[in-house]
Amino acid sequence: MGVTTYTHEATSTVSPTRLFKALVVDADNLIPKLMPNVKNVETEGDGSIKKMNFVEGGPIKYLKHKIHAIDDKNLVTKYSLIEGDVLGDKLESITYDIKFEAAGNGGCVCKTKTEYHTKGDYVLKEEEHNEGKKQAMELFKAVEDYLVANPSVYAK
């Protein structure tokens, strides 16, 4: 098994606290409202497993994540994609470390470290990572646009 790591930074005019609440704390409720391809998010067991179900007919049926940490004081989360169509037969899991930091303009910088844990001697191609990053940025942008349009949401 190998590990390939990528880092990415995304900036936003939205405060780090509001983005963290929307993308991490209340994601189970908000994401299905903003992303038409997401049917719902189910919580399993003690709450540390989240299963995101997609609408029928799409390329992805579901994604299952294991939540390792949610730190709402330091605005940090860590979770792993442990099951789902995107893992295919070449990936064991994908682990995400995400930190929301204040930026000088009242907005934030979202810093992400992504680790792809591959099966056997498979080497992840950058194009594969870029496709996943593209999907994540679509979600990030949808949430950001929603928060900009609704400045009182997650303001407390």
- Tell me how far apart the alpha carbons of residues 49 and 70 are, in angstroms, rounded to a whole number: 13
The mean pLDDT of the chain is: 94
Residue 83's pLDDT is what?
A: 96
Report if pTM > 0.95: no
Q: Which amino acid is at 120?
A: G
- Tell me how far apart the alpha carbons of residues 144 and 109 are, in angstroms, rounded to a whole number: 12
**What pLDDT digit, counting tens, does each position of 107-150 carry?**
999 999 999 999 998 989 999 899 889 989 999 999 999 999 99
Measure Cα distances from 1 to 23, 51, 77, 117, 119 in Å: 30, 25, 24, 7, 5
| C-beta of residue 75 within 8 angstroms of C-beta of residue 81 | no
